[in-house]
Chain A
């Protein structure tokens, strides 16, 4: 149990286009989902936290107008990179916190989406 999927697993797009990445909790409901970004050979950095039905909370330095997050249901959160540029090329990972989890820190990570902007 507690599987998180991401789609697509990789995407290549042209500069200036928008890309949507989906994060789904397959066998549980997620109250909170988190989006991380990992540049090559670097660590994971939290971008934003999204709660179902409310606006996402962005970390300092992350442009909310560029990285649109929608957590429309308890099993789906989407990250849209708008007007992507080559510097947005990165590995994007989502994680989900299970509804009703007794251990508040429990997060389940998705397999990641590799975005390459040409």
Chain B
């Protein structure tokens, strides 16, 4: 079974619209971490946020905000007033501890197209 599910394969919006990218995860661990990464066409992963399982406080960083809800195992990402430069593939990832290191599980990614 998929540990991280990003049901939205591709989303297209017009500039200045708000957009929410969904992420649902599955884990039996009580301690885990969740991440969002942006992957522009160049391919390099850009780290956006890390959230541990004990911190359910929502976070806002500029136009970005994240909603972590353990009750629904979701960690959704909202971009407010989207811009063309936001166009990229966004990955949600879950990190679980395996022996003495962490293992990352990536979702399938959501491609965001922001049109001018």
Contacts and interface: CB of A to CB of B under 8 A. Distances in A.
A46 B103 contact: yes
Contacts of B103: 46, 49
Nearest to A34: B104
Contact of A97 (B33, B102, B108): B102
Interface extent on B, as a size class? 20 to 34
B19 to A, nearest CB: 20
Interface string A37-62: 00000111110010000000000000
A107 interface: yes
Contacts of B109: 42-43
A108 B33 CA distance: 15
B66 interface: no
Given A43-B91, A112-B44, A107 B102 contact: yes
A24 to B, nearest CB: 15
- Majority SS of interface residues in chain A? strand
Contacts of B43: 91, 93, 111-112, 114
Interface string B8-40: 000000000000000000000000010001000
Contacts of A97: 101-102
Contact of A43 (B33, B44, B108): B108
A105 B33 contact: yes
Contacts of B102: 97, 104-107
Contact of B97 (A44, A91, A93, A104): A104
Contact of A109 (B33, B45, B95, B100): B45
Contacts of A42: 108-109
Given A43-B109, A91-B43, A109-B45, A49 B91 contact: no
Contacts of A112: 43-45
A78 to B, nearest CB: 19
